Amino acid sequence: MPTTRQLQSRTKMRRFNERLRPGDLVEVKAPDEILQTLDADGTLERMPFMPEMVEFCGRRFRVSRRALKTCVSGSGPSTMRLFGRDDVLLLDGLRCSGAAHDGCQKACMILWREAWLRKVADPTVETRVDPESCQRLRTRLKTSTTAKTYFCQASELLKITAPMSRWRRFEACFADIREGNCSASQMVKRIGIWLFWRIRRKLLGEYAQGNKKTTPAESLNLQPGELIEVKSMKSVNDTLNAQCQNRGLYFSPDMRLLCGQRSRVRNRIDKLIVDGTGEMRQLRNTVYLEGSMCGCSHVAFGGCPRGEFVYWREIWLRRSVNP
């Protein structure tokens, strides 16, 4: 006869095997089912279900990865924090449009509680969503707390995450491997990249260190689809201060890999909601480039799952004369 400890161990193992994992096909639950999980603020365990998520109800997507930790940046130095619960998932390609938040252009990866999803048992059976139920859900979701403070997943990041000790950072790396977010070799590579830049920063300071007390600006009025070339590292250095910033925007070590390379403008970015504060920050002369994603492993131990876009000042770029 199994002991109590053995039964508990088997229960935990069964629950682990039933958990959603990267690659699983899932369906976002119907609006009325989502409503049953939300409190008066439209949140589940402090995580908002945003109006931009309603359009995905009843639709199917692949699980990209389980989000165990995240970078929080924008209101000070970027920090790594741990989600309070291990039920947070990212779905392939689903980003916030910002449509319900005055057109915020941050395009965050949307976070999903496991309670908002179900694993698809029969891919041939389609789910229909009642438009009226979508409207009922939207009316329960708030988008601001004051006239100047927005309410969204980015604004609430500090409330749904906790600081990470050094030991918990190592533990999270093993958890990423166990959950199928990455392979052991990929994690070793991430840690190696972080360690190299950490040591280099200690010995030599920031990689792209400038000497400007007041950093310059330049407006190219770049538009989506335009072909550009990233300037040389020397030219970029001439625009930075000692903290490797141009008007508060950090030039990270991974961005150097595009110096001298051509790319296309994906979008302009004029405003975004700051992580942890809900403040809408205005930006000038700043764009996204196609395929240019945050190289978190350069600055965050073990990397970050959020897949943020990299922001480029136009002074770091030039229009490409050759197609």
pLDDT tens by residue, 38-96? 999 999 999 999 999 999 999 999 999 999 999 887 644 557 899 988 899 999 989 99
Is the residue at 11 inside a domain? no
Question: Which pLDDT score, from 0 to 100, does residue 266 have?
Answer: 95
Compute CA distances 79 → 168, 256, 275, 306, whole Å: 14, 22, 11, 13
Question: Which pLDDT score, from 0 to 100, does residue 78 have?
Answer: 59
Domain containing 134 equals 19-166
Which residues in the chain come in under a pLDDT of 70? 1-18, 74-78, 322-323
Consecutive H or E run containing 33: helix 31-35
Q: How many domains does the chain have?
A: 1
Q: How far apart are CA 220 and CA 74, in angstroms?
A: 24
Question: Which pLDDT score, from 0 to 100, does residue 215 have?
Answer: 94
Is the residue at 259 inside a domain? no
Render pLDDT for 107-128 as a digit per residue (tens, 0 to 9).
999 999 999 999 998 887 778 8
Q: What is the pTM of this model?
A: 0.87
What is the signed CA dihedral for 68, 73, 79, 84, rounded to 10 degrees? -30
Is the residue at 28 inside a domain? yes
Is the residue at 81 inside a domain? yes
| DSSP at 181 | S
Is the residue at 242 inside a domain? no
Question: Which pLDDT score, from 0 to 100, does residue 39 have?
Answer: 96
Question: Which pLDDT score, from 0 to 100, does residue 1 have?
Answer: 54
Is the residue at 145 inside a domain? yes
Is the residue at 216 inside a domain? no
Is the residue at 206 inside a domain? no
